[in-house]
């Protein structure tokens, strides 16, 4: 099982992220655009694990004590990959998000799970393998980004799998965050 811990979004937030995809298409971008149900922010990518490990990961998630928190997307960016770029929406500086991610990473590592050693860079991938003209990309990156704001009230353990040829991220466990005071 290929596993990761992530945040997903309400319909309003997903709709706004889909509009970002449309702006890429309007500039001539062609590629693999993330489906609504696959939009998420990864907190920790775990990789391949056995089904028996799921219960342990769930119990570690449930140790986490954190309040729900506001989250704002404020940037459109891309990772260049030889003409097949990854386009993403970045998140405004958010100490609560970073604290939750760090706590999860520490819990997982202390129980023998492999975690990423790279610095955490929270974002939502909206499109992969995008081919777009230099002019179209420049226009997108220079256009002021209208912030997207939401509140995060839960995190999920998800599996990355293919079902009937489609990449799907079924939720295996949900951990609610405490109401903010």
pLDDT at 52: 93
The pLDDT, as a whole number, for residue 117 is: 87
Residue 149's alpha-carbon distances to 9, 17, 94, 108, 146, in angstroms, are 11, 11, 12, 29, 10
Domain of 141 in residue numbering reads as 2-176
Tell me, yes or no, whether 181 lies in a domain. Answer: no
- Which ranges of the chain have pLDDT less than 50? none
Report the length, in residues, of the chain.
181
Q: What is the mean pLDDT of the chain?
A: 95
Q: Distance (Å, rounded) from C-alpha 61 to C-alpha 5?
A: 9
Residue 70 lies in a domain: yes
pLDDT given for residue 172 in this prediction: 97
**CA 12 to CA 49: how far, in whole Å?**
33
CATH code of residue 69: 3.90.1140.10
Would 124 be classed as within a structural domain?
A: yes
pLDDT computed for residue 81 by the predictor: 81
The model's pTM:
0.93
Give a yes or no: residue 168 inside a domain: yes
Query: What is the number of structural domains in the chain?
Result: 1
What is the structure's pLDDT at 96? 96
Burial of 144: CB neighbours in 10 Å, binned 0-12, 13-18, 19+: exposed
Model confidence pLDDT, tens digit, residues 60-110: 999 999 999 999 999 999 998 887 899 999 999 999 999 999 999 999 999
């Amino acid at each position: 099982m290929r596993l990761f811990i992530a945040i997903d979004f309400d319909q309003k937030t997903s709709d706004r992220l889909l509009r970002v995809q449309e702006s890429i298409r309007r500039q001539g971008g062609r590629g693999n655009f993330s489906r609504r149900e696959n939009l998420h922010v990864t907190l920790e990518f775990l990789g391949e694990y056995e089904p028996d490990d799921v219960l342990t990961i769930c119990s570690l998630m449930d140790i986490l004590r954190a309040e729900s928190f506001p989250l704002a997307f404020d940037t459109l960016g891309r990772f260049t990959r030889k003409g097949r770029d990854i386009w993403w929406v970045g998140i405004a500086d958010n100490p609560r998000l970073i604290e939750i991610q760090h706590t999860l990473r520490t819990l997982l590592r202390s129980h023998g799970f492999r975690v990423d050693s790279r610095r955490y860079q929270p974002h939502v991938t909206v499109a992969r393998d995008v081919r777009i003209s230099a002019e179209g990309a420049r226009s997108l990156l220079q256009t002021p980004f209208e912030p997207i704001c939401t509140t995060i009230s839960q995190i999920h353990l998800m599996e990355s799998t293919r079902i009937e040829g489609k990449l799907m991220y079924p939720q295996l466990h949900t951990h609610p965050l405490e109401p903010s005071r």
